[in-house]
Amino acid sequence: MRATSILRSAARTPLIHFIGKRSVPKSIDHSPRVHPASPTGSLPDSFATYRAKAQQHGPLGRSSFNGTIGGHSGASLGPVKPQEGEFFDRAELPARFGRLPWTEAEIEAIETGGASLFA
């Protein structure tokens, strides 16, 4: 017990030692620069021109929606029906794939946290 109280009273010394005095830079250059791995080597003129050419899970520009699914409402695409052998809901499956009803023993085991299985 005495060793614990001695360790608690000792001053904590950090394991990391920094070299030199802390100093904050007087001026930091926040001007935009081209990334070293940039394929073009130049900055875009504006955000609008960048967004017109950018791709993120597909084109981001408004002009790319003409004639594609993103340019139409869902209702205009027509009804969605599953193909032969496909089902959208579990309730539509044949009875052999349905959920089995809970037995009284299973319900009791769940309610008691499994203790009823060993009692």
pLDDT in tens, 64-116: 555 565 667 777 778 888 888 888 888 888 889 888 899 999 999 999 998 88
b/e per residue 2-41 (b: at least 16 CB within 10 A): eeeeeeeeeeeeeeeeeeeeeeeeeeeeeeeeeeeeeeee
Average pLDDT, the chain: 80
Does pTM surpass 0.85?
no
Name the 3-class secondary structure at 50.
helix
Q: For residue 70, report the phi and psi dihedrals to the nearest 5 degrees.
A: -65, -15
Does residue 67 come out as left (phi exceeding 0), alpha (psi in the -120 to 50 range) or beta? Answer: left
CA neighbours within 13 Å on the CB side: how many for 108?
A: 8
The DSSP output letter for 37 is T
**Which of residues 2 and 101 earns the better pLDDT score?**
101
Q: What token pair was written down for 106? A: 């299973």
For range 40-55, the mean pLDDT: 80
Q: Which residues contact 44 (CB under 8 A, 6 or more apart)?
A: 50, 53
